[in-house]
Amino acid sequence: MTRSKANSKKQHGIDFKKIRRKIGKKLPPPKNTTNTEIKSKAIVLPEQSVAAEKAGLAVNKKGLTLKELLQQTSHHNPKVRRDALMGIKDLFARHPAEQKSHKYATVEKLRERIGDDDKVVRKSLYDLFKVVILPCCKDDNQELIVSLLMPYIFNAMTHLSADVRMMAFDFFDLMLEFYPPSFTPLYAEKIFLNYEHILKRNQYYLQEKGKLKDALSGLVRCLSLLPWNKAQTDLRNKDDTGRRVLHAFDDEMSTNSNGFSIIIKNLKDLVPPLINIFLEFIPSIHSMESLEGKSFACMASLLHSIDLIVRSIAYGTDKKSQSPSSQGGPDVADVSISSALLKKLFSLFPLNPTDHLSARDCDRLLDLNMVIAKIYFELNEWTSLPPHLLERFLEFFENALLGKFSWATQSAKTVWEEHLVQLLPFVSKFVSRGTGDWTSRLLQAFTLTFKESKPGSLLNACVSAIEDVLTYMESMIPTWTSNPEYIVLQEALRAWTGYLPLLLIQLGDNHPACSEAVLRLLHRIGQRAWNPALVCMYDNMQQSLQDFYCTYQEGGQISYGPFLRLPRESQVLSLCSLYYFSHLDQPILKSIVYCCLSDDLDSYVLFRIIEILHSAYREGHVEIADYLSFLITLVSRFKVPPEFGSSGFTSDPLRQTLMSMTAVVCSYIQQMGDNAIVLRLIEKLIIDQIWIPSPQDFLNKALPL
């Protein structure tokens, strides 16, 4: 049986061919799709190009202009405002001309951020004003800058946020740093009123000592700008003769207050909160192992502020126009201030260190005690204080003058000297009031301080204090013979005067300001030598002063002192002091003539020497033989170059000086009397000078004589 064949399948047409695709292969586009792409050329409009708009404009590193940055400072996002301020700083650093051109517009826009709610924005704005904007505007219209900023600063001082208010005082302090004249009476009254408000929130600010420290530093700056605190206590008020008027500072300042007297009441209101805040820090001295730096800075600023306020009350109140109270007594505010200081501050004096405090902290307490003592002495000038307190403060003052305190560091000693400079003017005030045994004790302590003072402000303050004592002694002339206190003062003056020549030699020419102060004191002592004892004391300085001018030996060696190296004003001042010696001896005259023959002496000073010695001769302070010897020696030994023709004789400066000097000498000799008698007196002097190596040159000089 055969096998059947399989039925063959009939082939049919395929409608949709199944295409097998590999995974990952991109499908080709369908063949029946419509192409919807539209091809056209791009159209670029120049006015729509941002890059073209900023071409030639000043931009920062992010490509933003000043206009855009100023607009971003008002953005609702604090981060955008911060970035805008940093962008302005970068823009001005890249393009300084842009800042100069738009500085006022920039200030007008940025002032809105003074009261910003964000702390970082305010700090960035403060840095921008301090480093960039205000230094650029310092030499321009200051009134315009002040008028633009002050309304917004005052507005920030009344902000609900305490941080904004504190930062407002920082902005005001910054403006005073660059524009001190902006502190006017109109602004001062508002400023001190706002300070009073923030100081009364002492509990809050004690927790934020850094903010309190910044606020107090601003208050100190404001108080320092008051007219009574700009000048020192020992302000010199001199008349035409240079005579200093003791305690004339009050009258001087009362006429120059420029309207600031209206703020005295505001200053008085500041004292109680300042004292209360200071008392809050007292427990920290005894409880802490060390006195924190911020706490000490706050305490020092508090005391400094109180000191400036007390000084302002003492010198800023117009006592002539001040109306008494209804009871006929002192002002109620003054009584309350005195009472608060007595009960709360002076009762703590001195602040004694505890065992756990370091030497550095003890130095800090000494600084605080010095300021408290100054406050007491200032307050004692215009109100009566209990006598038992005076003993305590005078003992501290004596110990300070004697240097009984030790310092851990050299910087601490420097700060102590700065405080002592402010206390020295009170030496003459206590002496003038007659404080009993304390007068001699203070004078002895002051003498030690004077002799150990290094050149600088402390030495100048000592010289100024001596001038005050000298003025007080002058006022005692009518009763000096019957006043035992005058004998004590005279002995102290003798010790001070005897030290002056040695001090001048020690100073040399390295400290011209101190040398001038000492020479001025020496000149004044000579003017005020009103009794035989003082005249003898002044005359005894001649031998010591000889080293100041010139020393010489018989062998011809000459050693010049500091006189020739000092400025002209100091040289003339020292020469004027010679006039007041009752008798000028030959050694001092010989030293002066050697100075005259030096090439380093200015011709102006040379003629001043001749003039002053001639005046001293006319007053009988120089013998005629010594005076003629001085003149002949000066003319005969004056060095000039060899003569080289008629034209050279008149053109050489030294020969012109010789001709002028010879004419002056001849004029003075003719005023001495009969020419024949004078000729016989100078004949031997001229013959003695013929041994000079150039006799012909000497004859040319001596011929007019």
Residue range 438-448: average pLDDT? Answer: 90
Q: What pLDDT is stored for residue 27 in this prediction?
A: 78
704: preceding bond cis by omega (within 30 degrees): no
Residue range 2-19: average pLDDT? Answer: 61
Most confident residue range from 92-101, 116-125, 669-678? 116-125
Contacts within 8 Å (CB) and 24+ apart, 187-191: 187/150, 188/222, 188/226, 188/260, 188/263, 188/266, 189/262, 189/263, 189/266, 190/154, 191/222
Total Cβ atoms within 10 A of residue 435: 16
Q: What pLDDT is stored for residue 695 in this prediction?
A: 47
Report whether pLDDT(611) > 60.
Answer: yes
SS3 of residue 256 by DSSP: coil
**Mean pLDDT taken over the chain:** 80
Residue range 507-512: average pLDDT? Answer: 90
440 compared with 30, residue with greater pLDDT: 440
Check: CB of residue 368 under 8 Å from CB of residue 300: yes
Q: What pLDDT is stored for residue 243 in this prediction?
A: 36
Residue 638 CA to residue 93 CA, distance in Å, equals 63
Residue reference for tokens 């016989």:
680
Across the chain, which distance is largest between two alpha carbons, in Å? 194
Check: CB of residue 429 under 8 Å from CB of residue 466: no
How many helical (H) and strand (E) elements, i.e. helices and strands, does the chain have? Answer: 35, 2
Length of the chain: 705
pLDDT tens, position by position, 467-493: 998 888 887 766 666 677 778 888 888
Confidence band of 417 (pLDDT split at 50, 70, 90): confident
> Which letter does DSSP use for residue 346 in this model?
G
Residue range 530-547: average pLDDT? Answer: 86
| H helical segments located in 317-456 | 332-340, 359-379, 387-402, 410-423, 426-433, 437-452
- Structure token pair of residue 362: 């003890």
| Axis-axis angle for helices 437-452, 387-402 (nearest 10) | 30
Check: CB of residue 50 under 8 Å from CB of residue 62: no
End-to-end CA, the chain: 184
Report whether pLDDT(13) > 60.
Answer: yes
51 compared with 663, residue with greater pLDDT: 663
**Residues with Cβ within 8 Å of residue 405, at least 6 apart in sequence:** 366, 399, 416
Check: CB of residue 574 under 8 Å from CB of residue 628: no
Report whether pLDDT(409) > 70.
Answer: no
pLDDT tens, position by position, 17-59: 777 777 887 877 778 888 788 887 777 655 555 555 566 678 8
- Structure token pair of residue 621: 């302070």
411 compared with 598, residue with greater pLDDT: 598
**Residues with Cβ within 8 Å of residue 564, at least 6 apart in sequence:** 571, 595, 598, 600, 601
State the pTM of this model.
0.76
Residue range 690-695: average pLDDT? Answer: 51
Residue reference for tokens 């005073």:
176
Report whether pLDDT(705) > 70.
Answer: no
